[in-house]
Structures are given as C-alpha cells and as structure tokens.
Amino acid sequence: MDVLSLQTATDGAPITAVAGTFALFALFLSLTAHIAARNVLGDVEVKKAFAVGPVPAAIAVVFTTFQLNSFLALALAIGFDFGLVKFLYGQSNRLSAYVVFIHFVVSVILGVVLFGLAVILSTAPV
C-alpha cells in the first residue's frame, strides 16, 4: 500500500477523513508542544499542551481545505502558538518565543522522521 492510497482510503464521508486528520494532527502538535515546554521550562502540566496543539492544527486543516496561502497559515499558526504559550505558561515574551521555536523544531524533526518511517514501511514487501 503506498502513501497515496493511505491518504485517499476513506470508508465514510469526507468529513470523517478531515476530522480524523485534525484529531491526529492536534494530538501530534500537543505532544510536540509538551516536549518543547518540558525541555525549556522544566516540569509542566500535560493538560496545557493539549490546549496548545489543536489551534495550529485547526489553522492547518482550514487553510489546506480551502487551498489558502500556506505561508499565511504558518505565520498565523506560529502567532497563535506564541499567544497560547505566553498565556498558558505565563512566561516572558522571550521565553515564550523560545518555547515556540523549540516546538516548531521538534514538530518538523519528528514529522520528518515519522513520515520517512511511513514511506519506508509502505515500500516493504508484503
């Protein structure tokens, strides 16, 4: 099974695929937000990361669904990420920006690794 068939294989309505994509992406971004906050701030509550993750995921899904400018989506997602980190963790602008930068880096690195793993596994003989 190749990556394309994984993306187009839906048994239900398209809304189910969009909702599933949003839920998985929000969970992924929550995990990476917690990793970033924990590495920068030390011991932090996991529930705060679950408030951070869904917002950039929602922005990504909406902008992708309506084929809007991806650079604007990225800027908006990082801006909201910064606002949520600053509000939820109560840190200075500089420390909040550092958490958001680490969140971005961890998300990119983990995303590339997981996607690469998915591609490698999809090419494995059956």
The one-letter code for the residue type at 58 is A
Tokens of 23: 């839920």
How would you write the pLDDT of the chain (126 residues) with one tens digit per residue?
Answer: 444 444 555 566 788 888 999 999 999 999 999 999 999 999 999 999 999 999 999 999 999 989 999 999 999 999 999 999 999 999 999 999 999 999 999 999 999 999 999 999 999 888
122 neighbors 3 (Cβ within 8 angstroms) = yes
How far is residue 24's CA from residue 26's CA, in Å, rounded to a whole number? 5
What pLDDT sits at residue 13?
A: 77
Tell me how far apart the alpha carbons of residues 21 and 25 are, in angstroms, rounded to a whole number.
6
pLDDT of 45 reads 93
